[in-house]
Amino acid sequence: MRITTWNVNSVKQRLPHLLGFLAEAQPDVVCLQELKCVDDAFPRTEIEEAGYVVATHGQKAFNGVALLARRPLPLQEIRRGLPGDESDEQARYIEAVIPTATVPVRVASIYLPNGNPVATPKYDYKLAFMRRLQAHAVALRAREEVLVLAGDYNVIPEPEDAADPAAWASDALFLPQTRAAFRTLLNEGFTDALRACDGRPGVYSFWDYQAGCWPRNQGIRIDHLLLSPQGLDRLVSASVQKHLRGLDKPSDHVPVTVELDLG
């Protein structure tokens, strides 16, 4: 099973790129973030015609997450919204179970808050969201399922995950508190799939639109797929589809994909 996470930065603007990727890579499951549209405005028809079933948790102009499963795979037990704060109206979390011929796979698409500017409620919200995610992840891990927590975490885990770490020293994505919260999640028994397969520095998933970051490869790695122990046992490979950043009018993120052996 191939599972991809991708912050598309407006699904309607990036629909041709998304459809091209589905045809090219044929992922079994796709976790999308930053849809920037309500559920009714999501291009469901086009994606269903490409061979996928769809579950969305949208929000007008901001945020929004979705799960796509390649038919005949269904999406079951769909959860919209991260538990722990009933007042949180931001569309940043969707989860579902994909039954297969061998084992069920639980997948979440996560769009973690950016948190900037620091020293504002936005950063408080980011850390609170991470605490809620940790609590929910621990509860899910107890099910002992193949679990993939995929998405745009807006976290640069280590200095080697940025081309210029010093430039991010005071940014919410790289502050010590942010990185500590991410490590706490890993310490609960989850594995960063890409780093389990590729420990090289210089592997990025995001390049800002400004200052020629893409041509100069001034990127950061903030899109992650975290695996439960049962998921790690089935990990075959993990890779970044970097070439999509070079398309005309691309997202500033590229897809990251893991392959699991469910046999």
Q: In angstroms, how far is CA 230 from the centroid of its own chain?
A: 19
34 known member of a binding site: yes
Catalytic residue among 152, 161, 171, 223: 152
- pLDDT, mean of residues 78-93: 97
| pLDDT over 70 percentage in the chain | 100
- Residue spans of the domains in the chain: they are 2-260
- What confidence score (pLDDT) does residue 85 get? 97
Catalytic residue among 93, 111, 153, 204: 111
CATH number for the region 2-260 comes to 3.60.10.10
Contact between residue 137 and residue 190 where contact means Cβ atoms under 8 Å apart: yes
Contact between residue 115 and residue 107 where contact means Cβ atoms under 8 Å apart: no
CA pair distance 189, 114, nearest whole angstrom: 24
Largest CA distance in the chain: 49
Using alpha carbons only, what angle is made at residue 33 by residues 30 and 108, rounded to the nearest 5 degrees?
55
Annotation says 123 is catalytic: no
Annotation says 111 is catalytic: yes
pLDDT in tens, 53-74: 999 999 999 999 999 999 999 9
114 known member of a binding site: no
- What confidence score (pLDDT) does residue 211 get? 79
Band the pLDDT of 79: cuts 50, 70, 90: very high
Task: Say yes or no to pLDDT of 98 above 90.
Answer: yes
253 known member of a binding site: yes
Neighbour-count burial for 243-262, b at 16+ CB within 10 Å, e otherwise: ebbeeeebbbbbbbbbbbee
7 known member of a binding site: yes
| pLDDT over 90 percentage in the chain | 98
63 known member of a binding site: no
Annotation says 88 is catalytic: no
Q: pLDDT averaged over the chain? A: 97
CA pair distance 153, 213, nearest whole angstrom: 20
Task: Say yes or no to pLDDT of 36 above 90.
Answer: yes
SS3 label, residue 132? helix
pLDDT in tens, 224-260: 999 999 999 999 999 999 999 999 999 999 999 999 9
- pLDDT, mean of residues 110-132: 98
What pTM, to 2 d.p., does this model score?
Answer: 0.97
In the sheet where 29-33 sits, what is the strand order?
A: 52-57, 65-70, 29-33, 2-7, 256-260, 235-240
